Amino acid sequence: MSDARISLSRWLSVPLPKPSARMRLFCFPYAGAGGSAYFAWTRALAHLPIEVCAVQPPGRENRLAELPYTVMEPLAAGAAAAIRESADRPYALFGHSMGALVAFEVLRRLRAVNAPLPVHVFVSAARRRTSAASSRRSTLFMAIVPFSPPSRVATAAFRRP
């Protein structure tokens, strides 16, 4: 599978490219992990028109030579820029644990620059966050899903056109 893997940027790794995919799923890893935590998802979602794009934070895996961030701002800003460049089709965000917090912050940055927004945001092992800067409480659509390759039942949300 590594021969087929492409990099849309240094921030994203696509283990199984699907040029005709109708949707991209950007996956944010938990603390201490890299994007390879989601490589098995490509096999689990192979029957669907979804391209899994694993977010590769600095200081992990192929970015090991880079210093990892110790604050959220540059992490979320870098990932948001990479996703904005790759938003040529509908997409969703998934984050597990700390990855859920990063996904939320990425969404805030995308919204702030009027970039195309995801059709869904999925999180696991995290509580709902609201923006302190917001004058109203905002609720994101969040589905609690297990951190493992998704089953056919869990992928039903992606089958919608």
Protein fold of 6-156: Rossmann fold (3.40.50)
What is the edge-to-edge ordering of all strands in the sheet holding 91-96?
6-9, 12-14, 50-55, 23-28, 91-96, 120-124
As to burial, measured by CB atoms within 10 angstroms (0-12 exposed, 13-18 middle, 19+ buried), residue 133 is exposed
Q: Rounded to an integer, what distance in angstroms lies between the CA atom of residue 84 and that of residue 76?
A: 12
| pLDDT value for 9 | 77
Tokens at residue 112, please? 């702030």
pTM: 0.76
**Active-site position among 7, 13, 20, 97:** 97
Instruction: Render pLDDT for 114-159 as a digit per residue (tens, 0 to 9).
Output: 999 999 999 988 665 555 544 333 333 333 333 444 444 444 444 4
97 is catalytic: yes
Instruction: Render pLDDT for 15-63 as a digit per residue (tens, 0 to 9).
Output: 999 999 999 999 999 999 999 999 999 989 999 999 999 999 999 999 9
The residue that leads in pLDDT, 11 or 3, is: 11
